[in-house]
Amino acid sequence: MKLGFYTYSYIDRLGMSIESVLEKVAATGYDGVDVSATWREDLDPALFPREARQTLRRTAEQLGLNIEACVTHLPLVPAVWNSQPLNLPGAVDLAVELGAKIVTVHLGRAGDGCVAWRTAVKTLRAACAYAEQRGIVVATDAVWRGTILDTPEKVVQLIEDVGSPALKHNFDPCYLNICGFDPAEATAMLAPHIVHVHVKDYRGRYPHFEHLIPGDDGAEMNHAAWVRALHAAGFDGYAVVECFTHHPLERACAIGYRAMRRALERGAGF
């Protein structure tokens, strides 16, 4: 399992430079990064500036970092219903240009459950057909209450209903835990579909919780347990630390990296 760091909070939300963020990530010891599929305040991946694309890829290559995934932010079903520019094909094109392998997508809240499900299946079939032609995987992002993917079983059902080899799952053990599922137990069901992992931490109980840096004081996740389960299932992709704007970059990089190295050592026997 390789370790990555997600740059969205720092490059896009806080406006830090691509070079300064990637330099800190590389110096900490990470193998790669996930990046936003949209640029700062823009909503459409097609609007991602040419210069920023070139700077991201060039800087990552110079620092020996892989760009592993491009992360979309608009929830799929509400975006389709409200004619917002989710533009999964545009995100796929960006991934190809950056040398990434994965585009992640949130499904969004359920609303009319049956109609929402059909909307998701139809949209993902088209997006996955486009992605498969370009060697990109689309990954459903996280189990979360109130969305159409509120259980691990529904993740599996959606992937089966779409029926594309290009559709996989971005595993989020923190959100599984907050929603009342055991991430290690959910791995048995989700493992055939997991292509990527986003690593967060938390304190509290749903709906009253706060995001923490993985491994920070008071954090409640047992990262070694889900690492052990994924390792046993044969997963060898990226586990990517995801932090938020109230987590200073240097601290987030360092604490997250140390916590995940410990989890890998304890969970996978490295």
Global pTM reads: 0.96
**pLDDT per residue over 76-120, tens digit each?**
999 999 999 999 999 999 999 999 999 999 999 877 779 999 999
Check if the beta carbon of residue 69 is closer than 8 Å to that of residue 140: no
In which band, very low, low, confident or very high, does the pLDDT at 270 lie, cut at 50, 70 and 90? Answer: very low
Domain ranges of the chain: 2-268
**pLDDT per residue over 180-222, tens digit each?**
999 999 999 999 999 999 999 999 988 899 999 999 999 999 9
108: DSSP letter: -
Domain covering 2-268 in this structure, CATH number: 3.20.20.150
d(CA 125, CA 143): 20
d(CA 267, CA 232): 9
Check if the beta carbon of residue 37 is closer than 8 Å to that of residue 72: yes
**pLDDT per residue over 148-190, tens digit each?**
999 999 999 999 999 999 999 999 999 999 999 999 999 999 9
Q: Which phi and psi (to 5°) does residue 3 adopt?
A: -110, 135
Side chain identity at residue 189, one-letter code: M
Q: Which two tokens stand for residue 166?
A: 């290009």
By residue count, the chain amounts to: 270
d(CA 73, CA 37): 8
